[in-house]
Amino acid sequence: MSDDIDALRYSLAELKAERESLIQAHQAHQEELARITEVARTSILENALRTEAIRLGAHDPDAVMALMDRSSIGWSEQGDISGVEQAMAQTREARGYLFHDSRILADQAGRRNVVPKPAPAQIQDARSLTEADYAARKRQFLAGII
């Protein structure tokens, strides 16, 4: 009987040690999860700010992000960022020298830096090609060139 009690005490001590190690591992995982979540949120915020700065015509988006007031930027309960547009608009008002002047950009858009529209696709019918052209196109297609 005392052997059974000793065996149960030994088993209980092992289970307590295992429970403690599982609790510590769980806490470590929770801390790691919190760290990864914070890194992800920071990355998402940085990308949203950089995108908005580029959209508004910033000369140097990194400089804009460093000099802006981020106090109005927050996260919703659903995990969405709020206040980025307002904060960037305030930064553009306060530090306009960091952005291109939209009036100048509108004037220049008609003269330069305009991307031409692509030409319409040329449709070719294989039945209308000469045998030599057909053979050349066939070799190009099989080689993965076209």
In this prediction, residue 71 carries a pLDDT of 87
In this prediction, residue 18 carries a pLDDT of 92
> Over 60: is that where the pLDDT of 66 sits?
yes
* Section 65-70 average pLDDT: 88
CA angle at residue 33 from 17 to 71, to 5 degrees? 140
Is the C-alpha dihedral spanning 38, 41, 46, 49 positive or negative?
negative
Residue holding tokens 């052997």? Answer: 3
Please, which residues bridge with residue 75 across strands? 81
pLDDT-derived band at 103 (thresholds 50, 70, 90) equals low
